[in-house]
Amino acid sequence: MGSFFDGSEAGPPYAGNPRMSGRGQGAAGSPPFLGLQTSSFTDFLASHSPGLLPGRIMPGAPADPEPGAPSQTVRNLPHATTIVAAICDGGVVLAGDRRATAGNVIAKRDVEKVFRSDEFSGMGYAGTGSVGIEFVRLFQVELEHYEKMEGRSLSLEGKANRLAWMVRGNLGAAMQGLIVVPLFVGYDEDTDQGRIFSYDVAGGPYEEQRFYSIGSGSLFARGALKKLYLDDMSPADAALACVQALYDAADDDSATGGPDLPRRIFPVIATITADGFRKLPESEAAQIAEQVVRERLARPDGPSAALRNS
């Protein structure tokens, strides 16, 4: 399995290869539960309790009002919005706003959408909040389970491929409106660089260069990063650029929340470098957000990109 997810072996995982399938028989007389030896926790869970996997539609769910249209119940579920990422010198920065919406209503103001996946990777998500949280937790267990079974961790590309299979498994639920799209980032120990992977509802992944954003405010955030991003930015400068981009997204997208100074709610910011995953303490995130808000009082549209005359 490791070779497949790392990209060194072609073909679907587990197919036609008993060693890769992990479905070898246990000792004689052992319970079937103990007979399944696989480094994929998702595969293990699917063989015993598939209903616990993300995106499973429960029997008796409200019918769609028309073919292909999500029900009103699904539309009213809380949805997470904008996530941004930027490659920096020696790693990558991941940041997300805190707002969740249900239709045209703010469902929650302090949602966390940025999470640690393992020591050298992290992810954020946009879409249906409850399914997104399940994806995050299952992916964390998936990576930990693989490391314990194989005695080593997957490569960064292998982790991205593993997440792609999980996203593809949610396709049926996505067609009914329970859409979740992750943004996966990490530090590549082989190249000493940060990398960014995006996904569509059918899986992916697609490696992005320099910076990327997902969610309802992604177009505005990416537009801001086009003007603010510089190659080889320090992690601190990249974090500031990401918060500036989130502010611009909140300025034009009602589903994206900007820094909420009265409630002390600020974007979640994480850096992944050779030192591992580090979520910025709230005090540091507050300093960055307050700097952005303070500068916007004098320049509401944000900093201007430096131009050179030929």
Helices 282-298 and 235-252: crossing angle, nearest 10°? 60
Closest of 137, 82, 128 to residue 107, by C-alpha: 128
Kindly report whether the peptide bond that precedes residue 13 is cis, defined as omega within 30 degrees of 0.
no
Closest of 105, 72, 121 to residue 278, by C-alpha: 121
Residue 8 dihedral angles phi and psi, to the nearest 5°: -90, -5
Contact at 8 Å (CB) between 267 and 259? Answer: yes
- The pair of three-digit structure tokens given for residue 277, joined into one six-digit string: 């995953």
- Quickly count helices (H) and strands (E) in the chain: 11, 13
Would you name the residues annotated as active-site residues? 81
Give the three-class secondary structure for 202: coil
Give the three-class secondary structure for 308: coil
CA angle 85, 91, 97 (to 5 degrees): 25
